[in-house]
Amino acid sequence: MVDFQNANFLKLKPVDTSKFQTQLEPLFIQGEVILSAFQSIRDYIVFTNKRIIAVNVKGLTGKKKDFSSLPYSKIQAYSVETAGVFDIDSELELWFSGLGKVKLEFVSHADVPGICRAISEFVL
């Protein structure tokens, strides 16, 4: 599992959702679809209509991957810090029951308020 306390999911950039479709499809349940995807240098986060999937790419070749499934049903609260003038990145903190806090940092042009709306729809 990804160590979210020390994870380096920093500067996540929006990417085309089809980029990870074939890698993640075997994990999907019936009716699950990708809503948005974000990538740092090697690692990536995918938001589906059922959960958040965090992928930690390991090793020199990147063939070994660690997939962490974070269901929306386990989110207890979230906090968002939007981009400002000098701090151009947005941060999303999610609190999961049984896991604790997960912090994700997005580049300024990522639609973090849109992510929060989607999370609210699934959680509330």
| Residues 81-117 pLDDT 10s | 876 655 667 889 999 998 888 888 888 788 888 899 9
Closest to 18 (Cα-Cα) out of 49, 46, 42: 46
Q: Indicate if the pLDDT at residue 4 is higher than 90.
A: no
Examine residue 3 and state whether it is found in any structural domain, yes or no: no
- Is residue 52, in this structure, part of any structural domain at all? yes
Above 70 in pLDDT, residue 6? no
Indicate whether 1 belongs to any domain: no
**Residue 77 is part of a domain; what is its CATH number?**
2.30.29.50
Number of domains in the chain: 1
pLDDT tens digits for 42-95?
899 999 999 999 998 888 787 888 999 999 999 999 998 876 655 667 889 999
Beta bridge partners of 104: 92
Domain containing 56 equals 13-123
**Tell me, what's the pLDDT at 87?**
61
Do residues 20 and 34 lie in contact, with contact meaning Cβ atoms separated by under 8 Å?
A: yes
Burial class (CB in 10 A: 0-12, 13-18, 19+), 17: middle
Neighbours of 13 (CB within 10 A): 14
For residue 86, what pLDDT is reported? 59
* pLDDT confidence of residue 42: 87
| Side-chain-side CA neighbours of residue 123 (13 Å) | 20
Between CA 14 and CA 40 the distance in angstroms is 9
Domain presence at residue 7:
no
